[in-house]
Amino acid sequence: MFLLEDFSESGFVFAPFDAVEKPIFFPFDEFDFFSENINFIDVPIENNNFAETEIQKENHQKIVENAINEIKKESFKKVVISRKESIPLENFDVVLTYKKLLQNYQNAFVYVWFHPKVGLWLGATPETLLTVENLHFETMSLAGTQVADNLAAVIWQQKELEEQSLVTDFIESQLKNKVEHLQISNPETVKAGNLFHLKTAISGTLHPSKSTLKELIESLHPTPAVCGLPRNIAKNFILENENYNREFYTGFLGEMNVISKESKSNKTQLFVNLRCMKIENNFANLFIGGGITKDSNPEKEWQETVSKSKTMKLVL
Ligand SMILES: C=C(O[C@H]1C=CC=C(C(=O)O)[C@@H]1O)C(=O)O
């Protein structure tokens, strides 16, 4: 198995949530590379009924309550609490599932990833961790969720506005001494599958004497959109309380250091691994979470994870 060493290599990276573990890497010069244009074909989608259980609900709400109590005690400001839901599969067809994901998430990075020692993962993530082309980089602060209904009538509550601005402020503070020309947009509403999120676009210029690609990635990952604030305290809370291993959910994936011979450019495009699932022993394990702040309500946070699982369940 190839592991990523210093982020100067050219290839496809698949990194876990816990940054103490090394990312898995497919170096382009060691692998065959095929590219194909896929059309959006209308694949019939049946409405299945994979219901959540009361126990799943109770367990999730209990961890969310603990998190809210810790936030009220000022142990930390924000934490993202997630869960894993296992769906039994019959006649699973990976290509068909991938096509359905493409159809349902037209503005997401939709992927299938397989390694014989790690397993089969699929996902459709709306969140970019980092895009770098030569010295120009772009990232985003994505948080806050509501079921997508009427874009013109969207109103964000104080809880979501604060939850998202914590992510923006973190990214700004991490980057301000490492980059130049830092630009931060106003938050806007974006659609991902059946949901709306709040997004702030952040861009700037890398200065080779101030930071490398590795330092930039390490300063961003994991952001409070998937971990919390302060980062290490929130991460310890997650590792001690979630009762399962996130593995590659809320890690990142994508192409690194792709050199174009024509334009002589070097491009890296990394995405946060959200709205994803691992296929294992005839089960699809879905991974879903949400940001908890002092104003969170355990019942609503549970509902948010149910909404986030809907499109993934629809493609199974
Ligand atoms: C952690 C997840 O979403 C993140 C990204 C967008 C909105 C989020 C939220 O509203 O909590 C999360 O920060 C997930 O989908 O599992």
Q: pLDDT digit string (tens) for 194-223?
A: 899 999 999 999 988 888 899 999 999 999
Residue 156 in any domain: the answer is yes
Residue 138 in any domain: the answer is yes
| Residue whose C-alpha is closest to residue 119's, from 1, 199, 39 | 1
Judge if the beta carbon of residue 104 lies within 6 A of ligand 1: no
The rounded distance, in Å, linking the Cα atoms of 283 and 186 is 41
Contact 301, 292 (CB under 8 A): yes
User: Burial of 306 by CB count in 10 Å (0-12 exposed, 13-18 middle, 19+ buried)?
Assistant: middle
pLDDT at residue number 245: 97
Residue 5 in any domain: the answer is no
The rounded distance, in Å, linking the Cα atoms of 257 and 255 is 7
CATH of the domain at 101: 3.60.120.10
Distance 304 CA to ligand 1 centre (A): 9
Contact 126, 108 (CB under 8 A): yes
Alpha helices in the chain (DSSP H): 54-72, 94-104, 158-175, 213-220, 231-241, 298-314
Judge if the beta carbon of residue 145 lies within 6 A of ligand 1: yes
pLDDT at residue number 130: 97
Judge if the beta carbon of residue 224 lies within 6 A of ligand 1: no
**Atom 13 of ligand 1, residue of closest alpha carbon:** 225
Three-state secondary structure call for residue 81: strand
Contact 250, 226 (CB under 8 A): yes
Judge if the beta carbon of residue 246 lies within 6 A of ligand 1: no
Residue 1 in any domain: the answer is no
The length of the chain, given as a count of residues: 316
Would you give the distance in Å from CA 220 to the centre of its chain? 13
| Residue whose C-alpha is closest to residue 238's, from 16, 22, 53 | 16
Distance 124 CA to ligand 1 centre (A): 13
The rounded distance, in Å, linking the Cα atoms of 5 and 2 is 9
Alpha-carbon distances of 164 from 156, 187, 203, rounded to whole Å: 11, 9, 17
Contact 9, 256 (CB under 8 A): yes
Q: Could you tell which of 274, 288, 303 is best to mutate to test the pocket of ligand 1, judged by most ligand atoms within 8 Å of the CB? A: 274
Distance 308 CA to ligand 1 centre (A): 8
Q: Which domain holds residue 293?
A: 11-314
Containing 138, the helix (H) or strand (E) segment is: strand 136-147
pLDDT at residue number 105: 87
Residue 6 in any domain: the answer is no
**Atom 6 of ligand 1, residue of closest alpha carbon:** 143
For the stretch 47-81, pLDDT in tens is 777 889 999 999 999 999 999 999 999 999 999 99
pLDDT at residue number 194: 87
Q: Could you tell which of 79, 141, 145 is best to mutate to test the pocket of ligand 1, judged by most ligand atoms within 8 Å of the CB? A: 145
pLDDT at residue number 264: 83
Distance 82 CA to ligand 1 centre (A): 9
Beta-carbon contacts of 123 under 8 Å, excluding residues fewer than 6 positions away, are: 101, 109, 110, 111, 273, 274, 275, 276, 277
Q: Could you tell which of 79, 197, 244, 276 is best to mutate to test the pocket of ligand 1, judged by most ligand atoms within 8 Å of the CB? A: 197
Residue 204 in any domain: the answer is yes
Judge if the beta carbon of residue 190 lies within 6 A of ligand 1: no
What ipTM goes with this model? 0.98
pLDDT at residue number 153: 85
In this structure, what DSSP letter does residue 205 have?
E
Judge if the beta carbon of residue 144 lies within 6 A of ligand 1: yes
Judge if the beta carbon of residue 286 lies within 6 A of ligand 1: no
Ranges of residues in the chain whose predicted pLDDT is under 70: 40-41
Strand order in the sheet with 276-280: 109-115, 119-125, 276-280, 283-292, 78-88, 228-229
The rounded distance, in Å, linking the Cα atoms of 304 and 298 is 10
Residue 303 in any domain: the answer is yes
Model confidence pTM above 0.90: yes
What is the count of structural domains for the chain? 1
pLDDT at residue number 205: 94
Judge if the beta carbon of residue 308 lies within 6 A of ligand 1: yes
Residue 202 in any domain: the answer is yes
